[in-house]
Every structure is written in structure tokens, then in C-alpha cells.
Amino acid sequence: MPSEREPARELIGRLTSAFTELPHEPVLSEVDGPLDWPGYGKSLAQAAARTGESESVVCGVAQIGDAIAVVVAFEFGFLGGSLGTRTGARIEQAFTHARELRVPVVSLVATGGSRMQEGTLALMQLPRIARQITLTREAALPHISVLRDPTTGGGWATLGAGADVVLGLHGAQVGFAGSRVRPPGYSVTQQFAAGLVDQLVEPDELRARLERWLHLLTTPGNGPAPVPPALGTTTLPDTGWEAVRRARAPERPRAGQYLAAYFDWLEPVSGDRGGGVDPGVLCGFGHRDGRTIAYAAQGGTATRPAGFRTAARLVRLADRLGIPVLTLVDTPGAANDEAAENAGVGAAIADMFTAVAAARVPVTTLLIGEGGSGGALAFAAPGRMWATPDSYLAVISPELAAAILKRDPAQVKETADRLRLRPQDLAELGIAQLGPSADQATAMYRNASSELGTQMVTRPTTP
């Protein structure tokens, strides 16, 4: 298995089929650097002789699978992959070149942080890099970061944590404070558990994973996501309570089954980038019939604040890259315990509502199970929502509605009918359409694609 600290050029050679380095200054011109730090010039010369590099990053244009990308690879052997003024200049050049070519950026990060011998001038490279990340986002180009061992300090706080998709190599130390500042170092596994890393990857799996991700993020296609056909029962419920009972049945098809049937293959993202993960919400990008569709799916549990925030992050990223979105609604409602309230569940729901409302790409919604109040509706696209026979959508559960209205518990079933929450009720009220069969779903997709093709906001990311 390759080492996470393998030299930058060896790593580039292992991950790419072709690589052309960007031109840069070949000579270390300043003897002891901008601060005239005693011995700094000698350290630079020794690092250059040891690694064959003139700086701590190697940047160039690479072929990775079927995609062209600009690669920024840190050479940890060069002064611990530290960030200096020339490092910042090279990274700035790389991102600028990516925008000129309209290709993605892949950052292979391994750094101990800012370079002490250049002091605050080294620290000032962080806003410089952040500016390049921002400009690249505004250009609707994806940025994938790979966290190697170690990824600390400003490298983590810009190129690492600031990427659209963050992949972490197993065993890497990842954290703002490195091991010499606060031992022991924080691990990538802990960052993944905290919702700050999308996937954990073995080093020998990295090339295949990058190829898949670059393919997904650069093939958005046109038109809306097709409506998935129902996987469960095909008959509509007779009563409101029957609709509720069906949606709550443990044997009913869940989000994971829908996604497996819908996509040829997919890559998940994880976490809200703010310290939270909700395992009951599945988000990511999938490949279907030669195009990419983003998905945000509720898994049948009460959705927690981190779930709403992760889904909102997914929708905004898809919108920026011109990728249509599929949402699957299935929740008894938003989590409402003390922990959820302290984590800002109301604000998180608002964030998801706003992300869907602001999306310029089409969002397709399928109600596949329980649709409990605003926690469910936040995932829904008004005007583009379908419902399966196994589902319901209500202002609140029948039990809680009866309690709020001070009705006898024996009236819960009648309350379910009064709420008009069945799929056919939703269709009659103009809230949703009845979910199609497989043949109907295909025909609907073709018609919608034809109508929306010229209106679809697309942002090509390959030359």
C-alpha cells in the first residue's frame, strides 16, 4: 500500500495518466528569505537538494480518468510542506490556470502549516489562497481535496476544509493544530465523524475514487432528474389511517433501496461541515444513463439539524455546478429534542427551505414514506413533487393533531382522514402528483427534458 507521505511526483504519477507541470521560478533567489531569517537560505537549499523541488508544492495539468484537472500536490519533504510566499504564488497560479482552462482543481494536501521563517508574510498566503478558492467557486468549477498525512494549519483551513468534496486518507493526522502544538494530533477519522470529511479512502483506492468524482462533477447533463417509479405497493390507500400505517410499515422500501435501483453507481458526501452528521440523511451524486444527478434522501428517521444542513450544502453545490437534484422525502418530522433545539433545528430547516427555493437547477421530489410537517416539506420542491402509494404528507402526525385539538385519542384515525394526507388527497389538493410507473416515469422525463432543456442552467467544467 502506498504511503500517505510519498513524494509529490510519485503520488502524481500514481494518480494520473499524464501530467504537465506549470512553469515556475527555478531558482531560490532570496538567501535568507523576506525576514532575513538566519540559516533559512541554507534550509531551502538543503530541501531542494533532498527532494529535487524548488518549493513545497508541485502544480500542473493532469489527465485523471476521463477528466482534465489542475493538480496542486504538496511535497512534505520540502520543509514539511509548509506554506511560504512562493507556495502561495504557485497555488494562485494553479487556480488561475484552472479557471482559464475551465477545469476542476484537485488539491493533494500534506502540510505542517505556515512557514515560521517567513513569519506573518507566510500567514498572509491564507487569504490569498482563500481568494482563489472563492473565484473558482464563482466560476462554477469543482474543487476536490485529498487530506494526506499530515494536513494541519492553514493548509487544512483553506485547501482542505474549503473544498467542495473532501476525501481523507486513512491514518492521516488532520487538524488545525499539529502534533507539535497540541499532541496527539487530531485524526482524519475524527474529522469524518464530526462531519468535516466526506469520505475516508485507502491510499491504493484513491485513483479510482478521484476518477469517479471528477466524472460525476463534470458531466451534469440537461433537464430534470427522472421521477423514480414506486418500489412498493401499487394500490392507493382507502383511508388516511391506512396511508399512515403503510408509510410506517417496517417492510416498506426505504431511501437506500430507491437510490440503489435508480443509479448505476453513486458517491456519497457526509456531514454539515459544522461538526454534525445525521446518518438518517443520505446525500451525494450518482451516475444514471451517462449523466450526473445529485440526491438528498431522508431515511425514515426524525431529521436532525446536521441532516438539513448537509442536504442544503448538497443542493447548493449541485446548483453551482449545474447538476439536477433528486430529493426523497421520508421522515416522521424534524427532531425536536433538547439537543436538536440547541443545535438550531429551526435555522437548519430554514437553510434547507432556502437552498431548494433558490436552486436554479430543477429539483425533483418523490415522497416515499412518512411526510411529517415542515421537516419533510423542507426537502420538497413545490410544483415538482410526486407521491408513492406508500406515503402521506401532513401538517403534523394524526396523533399530535388530535392532541393539539384536544380530541379523544380514539379519534386519531378519524383525524387522519380529516387531514386529507393520502397520496390521492395530495393530488386532488394540487400539492403533489401521483408517482408514475416505470414506463410513465421515462416518458415524463423525456417530455420534461425537452421542455426545460434550453432553460436549464448549465456550467460546463471541461474544455
CB 168 within 8 A of CB 205: no
List Cβ neighbours of 82 (8 Å cut-off, separation of 6 or more). 56, 111, 112, 113, 114, 115, 116, 122
pLDDT of residue 463: 29
CB 195 within 8 A of CB 271: yes
pLDDT of residue 181: 55
pLDDT of residue 449: 53
CB 323 within 8 A of CB 362: no
pTM of the model: 0.92
Three cell numbers at 268?
456519497
Nearest to 378 by CA among 421, 328, 338, 339: 328
pLDDT of residue 1: 44
pLDDT of residue 182: 59
pLDDT of residue 29: 57
List Cβ neighbours of 262 (8 Å cut-off, separation of 6 or more). 228, 286, 288, 295, 326
Written in H, E and C, the secondary structure of 251-266 is: CCCCHHHHHHHHCCEE
Query: In a structure prediction context, what are the per-residue pLDDT tens digits for the chain, which is 463 residues long?
Result: 454 488 999 999 999 999 999 998 765 556 788 888 999 999 999 999 999 999 999 999 999 999 999 999 999 999 999 999 999 999 999 999 999 999 999 999 999 999 998 999 999 999 999 999 999 999 999 999 999 999 999 999 999 999 999 999 999 999 987 655 555 668 999 999 999 999 999 999 999 999 999 999 999 878 999 999 999 999 999 999 999 999 999 999 999 999 999 999 999 999 999 999 999 999 999 999 999 999 999 999 999 999 999 999 999 999 999 999 999 999 999 999 999 999 999 999 999 999 999 999 999 999 999 999 999 999 999 999 999 999 999 999 888 888 889 888 888 899 999 999 999 999 999 999 997 765 565 555 555 555 444 333 333 333 2
CB 355 within 8 A of CB 315: yes
Q: Which residue has the cell 415522497?
A: 367
CB 40 within 8 A of CB 117: yes
Q: What does the alpha-carbon distance between residue 363 and residue 385 come to, in Å, rounded to a whole number?
A: 9
Q: What is the DSSP letter of 83?
A: B
pLDDT of residue 60: 98
How many Cβ atoms sit within 10 Å of the Cβ of residue 149? 22
